[in-house]
Every structure is written in C-alpha cells, then in structure tokens.
Amino acid sequence: VFAAETTGELRKVDNVAHRGATGYAPENTIAAFDKGVEMKADYIEIDVQRSKDGELVIIHDNTVDRTTDGTGYVKDLTFEQIRSLDAGSWKGEQFTGEKIPTFDEILDRYHGKTGILIELKSPELYPGIEGQVAQKLKERNLDKPQNEKIIIQSFNFESMKITNSLLPKVPIGVLTSNRAHTTEQALKEFSTYADYFNPSYGIVSKELVDQVHSLGMKIQSWTVRSHEAAQFLLDMNVDGIITDYPDYVDPRK
C-alpha cells in the first residue's frame, strides 16, 4: 500500500503484482510471486485453472505452449505431466527449473505474507471449479476476509455469482475490457454480487471511477507496464493498480 496525494488528500492504493512481478521473473511462478513480495506488493495476482485429474494449477493461458517447454491444453494434461514442465527457462536461463505451482502451494506459501488476488481463468472449461476453490479457502479458514486479504475475480460473471453464493464473505471482482460493461445498468447489476469492478485501463475515466465508488464498489485496473500508465491510474483515483512492475506504481520513487 502506498499513499497517493490527490487534491491535498492522502489515500491508499493497492499495488498488485500481476501474475507475480512478471516484469522481472516468469509469470505465475514462485520466482515471480516471491519477487512481488520482495517488492512489497500488497497483493499477488494468480490465474487458476485445473489439470485433467483435478489439481488446481496456476497458469494464464489455456495451453502450456507459451510459458513452458510442453504443449497441449491444461485441461487435457495430468498433474504429473504439468508438474514435469519447465515454466521458467522461456524467460531466461537463470529461471530454469521453475515449476507450475499449485493453488495449495500458493495459499500455504503466501497467505499472511501478502494479499492474494485469485483469478478464475476460463472457469467455463472447468465445471465445479468454484466449489473446489471455495473448499481450499475454507479448509484454511481463509473465507473470513477480515483476517486475510483474499479477492476472487473473473471475466466470467456467472462464475462470480456462484462464487459469491459459496463464499459470501470473500470479496468478488468482475473483470472486463468492454465498454458495454460500464453503463449505469451494467454496473448496478455487478454491484449486486461484486465488490470490485476491475477494468483494463483503456476504458478507465474519472467518471467511471466515481460511478463505481458511488455504487459501493472498488476499482483495480490492469495491466500497467509503463510509468505513464501507472501515473494515469493514480490520477484517475483507482483503488488498486495491477502491474507487471510493482516498482512503477510507487509515487515516492
């Protein structure tokens, strides 16, 4: 958290390491999440999907092709197959041997150390994943957000409605880069189950931020990869900045 000064007033802005500190380490690996923590991010953002045999794993794309030395859909590979892949060397030799983490590992390693912004990635490919995620949080007593910084978000709004009913105390976010989702009517509907409206920064305006706030929601925006984008979002008065470079969003630097 850092304090941003707008109109003489200090306010808190959450610094969220997107897939970890992705600017400095291979996305969605322990190396990237550790780097995010080291850089004092308030949250790490993770993408959750599921192996063929039911293990929840942390990877962004629906296939392993771009970020590992393997090929194929995550949903068609067993956990053993997924775990044998190298998820680091595509980003640089020094990261050779990084593995695709499990959701369990992330919860156990980081809860209490930093917040976790959990994205359910393409939940339509993984029937029942909302219940699995809810179970993992409940097992660890992480469904009581007064103790833990946990948020669950998705581009799939139906999945977020289900998640909200399974985990009524955990803050829910909706993700979009579609302006059609910024109408008064759309925002009102989101506010019936979501606590965060999280748009790409291309559709952010002061008016949008004010509207989201007046409906009682917060707004975190993505994906910052430049100092200019970070400054733009600070000026827009957002509540959180989701960035590949956690060091870009600290206005004291």
By the rule CB under 6 A, 194 interacts with ligand G3P: no
Q: Peptide bond before 223: cis, by omega within 30 degrees of 0?
A: yes
For the bound state, the minimum distance from the C-beta of residue 9 to ligand G3P, rounded and expressed in Å, comes to 27
Residue 101 per-residue DSSP state: P
- Report the residue count for the chain: 253
Of the residues 18, 111, 181, 227, only one is catalytic, namely 18
Given 2, 4, 18, 77, the residue binding ligand G3P (CB under 6 A):
18
DSSP of 40-84, one letter per residue?
Answer: T-SEEEEEEEE-TTS-EEE-SSSBSTTTSS--SBGGGS-HHHHHT
For the bound state, the minimum distance from the C-beta of residue 203 to ligand G3P, rounded and expressed in Å, comes to 13
- Binding footprint of Ca ion, residue count (CB under 5 A): 2
Work out whether strand 115-120 and strand 56-58 pair parallel, antiparallel, or are unpaired: unpaired
For the bound state, the minimum distance from the C-beta of residue 88 to ligand G3P, rounded and expressed in Å, comes to 19
Place of tokens 């989701």: 242
Q: What character string, x for contact with Ca ion (CB under 5 A) and - otherwise, covers 107-126?
A: ------------x-------
For the bound state, the minimum distance from the C-beta of residue 212 to Ca ion, rounded and expressed in Å, comes to 19
Place of tokens 């979002």: 233
Q: What character string, x for contact with ligand G3P (CB under 6 A) and - otherwise, covers 148-177?
A: ---------------------------x--
Amino acid at 39: M
The Cα angle at residue 178 between residues 15 and 211, in degrees rounded to 5: 65
Cβ burial, residue 93 (10 Å; 0-12/13-18/19+): exposed
Between 4 and 117, CB nearer to Ca ion:
117
DSSP3 helix / strand / coil % (the chain, rounded to 5): 35, 25, 40
Three-class secondary structure of residue 236 per DSSP? coil
Given 47, 55, 239, 244, the residue binding ligand G3P (CB under 6 A):
47
Report residue 111 as tokens: 């809860």
Between 14 and 47, CB nearer to Ca ion:
47
Query: Is 181 an active-site residue?
Result: no
By the rule CB under 5 A, 239 interacts with Ca ion: no
Q: How far is the C-alpha of 129 from the C-alpha of 57, rounded, in Å?
A: 11
By the rule CB under 5 A, 47 interacts with Ca ion: yes
Q: What character string, x for contact with ligand G3P (CB under 6 A) and - otherwise, covers 86-125?
A: ---------------------------------x------
Q: Choose the contact partner of 222 out of ligand G3P, Ca ion, none; CB within 5 to 8 A by kind.
A: ligand G3P
For the bound state, the minimum distance from the C-beta of residue 10 to Ca ion, rounded and expressed in Å, comes to 29
Query: Is 18 an active-site residue?
Result: yes
Catalytic positions, written as ranges: 18, 60
